[in-house]
């Protein structure tokens, strides 16, 4: 029975980590290299993550500097950024790319917050699904008489507490991200 709880706890933790990683890719007015995590570049016919092709630095609070290790890939990197959903225009100086992050408009901030809430809700759905799967396993154990009715009730309560804790953590993370996006 403890194995079921450990597995559920691990999966809930992974759901929360996935949410944190998703939030890292949302740009909140400041330049962070994490916004480029999902960008892949067609490098000699092979999709390659941008981080494996270039050094990414933050010379100023609203600017990212992308310096490719292979200068011939500069155009490919520029094209990948232009076709992404970031909405940024890289400035090519021949040896590196600069990405300037303009201040977000109020409307764009509200759009981003809606996305934040959607990701949070998706994470909560995943956590609840994990709870349901664990409860199904516990009920199967009860049917096979491996555990008693009291054990099942206690396990259900423990699983619900674990789910509530995970949902509360998700709410805290999303509130923090909303605050970060809405501050000017």
Domains of the chain and any CATH numbers: 2-24+105-182 (1.10.132.20), 33-100 (3.30.1360.40)
Contact yes or no for 47/40 (Cβ under 8 A): yes
DSSP annotation of 45 reads: T
Residue 184, pLDDT score: 62
Does this model's pTM top 0.75? My answer is: no
Residue 132, pLDDT score: 95
Contact yes or no for 110/83 (Cβ under 8 A): no
Number of residues assigned to the chain: 184
Angle among Cα 95, 101, 102 to the nearest 5 degrees reads: 130
Burial of 136 (0-12, 13-18, 19+ CB in 10 A): exposed
Ranges of the chain with pLDDT below 70: 27-29, 184
What ranges make up the beta strands (E) of the chain? 40-43, 46-49, 54-60, 63-68, 91-92, 97-100
Task: Quote the tokens at residue 38.
Answer: 């999902």
Residue 172, pLDDT score: 95
């Amino acid at each position: 029975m403890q194995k079921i709880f450990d597995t559920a706890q691990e999966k809930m933790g992974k759901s929360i980590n996935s949410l944190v990683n998703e939030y890292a890719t949302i740009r909140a007015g400041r330049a962070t290299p994490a916004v480029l995590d999902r960008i892949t570049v067609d490098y000699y016919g092979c999709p390659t993550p941008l981080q494996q092709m270039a050094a990414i630095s933050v010379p100023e609070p609203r600017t990212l500097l992308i310096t490719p290790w292979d200068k011939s890939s500069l155009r490919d990197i520029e094209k990948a950024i232009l076709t992404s959903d970031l909405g940024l225009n890289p400035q090519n100086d021949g040896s590196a790319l600069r990405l300037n992050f303009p201040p977000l408009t109020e409307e764009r901030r509200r759009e981003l917050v809606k996305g934040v809430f959607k990701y949070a809700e998706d994470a909560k759905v995943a956590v609840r699904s994990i709870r349901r799967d664990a409860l199904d396993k516990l009920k199967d154990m009860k049917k096979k008489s491996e555990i008693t009715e009291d054990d099942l009730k206690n396990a259900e309560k423990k699983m619900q507490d674990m789910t509530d804790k995970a949902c509360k953590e998700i709410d805290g993370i999303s509130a923090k991200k909303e605050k970060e996006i809405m501050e000017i």
